[in-house]
Amino acid sequence: MRHADLRPCAGCGLGVCRDGSSFFYRAVVTQQIIDSGAVQRATGMEMMMGGHIALARIMDGDPHFTAEMPETVLLVCFPCYVSKPLAELIEAATEAAERESS
């Protein structure tokens, strides 16, 4: 990471090495939205192929089952890494990114 890429911790808003650690965490999180139509089509193909999943994938072209939402990048200090739930960290990072972009 370059200096310009460093941001405050998504959990506490302080420096990512605030506890004197020589490390922190960078996580890339991407929400996946299920494409139920694609899953149903693949299931139907598997049934047509007598339950042979590998053969069904070849016949169906191994379709995508999900659409990806834009990724969220989190920088997290060690104390927040061990104490805060992931959902809270993602929400804080998303809000910080929205503030930066506006």
Nearer to Zn ion by C-beta: 42 or 92?
A: 92
Nearer to Zn ion by C-beta: 49 or 96?
A: 96
Q: How far is the CB of 80 from Zn ion (least distance, A)?
A: 3
Contact in structure between 10 and 76 (CB atoms under 8 Å): yes
Taking CB atoms within 8 Å and a gap of at least 24, the contacts of 59-64 are 63/38, 64/35, 64/38
Q: How far is the CB of 9 from Zn ion (least distance, A)?
A: 3
DSSP classification of residue 83: H
Nearer to Zn ion by C-beta: 13 or 63?
A: 13
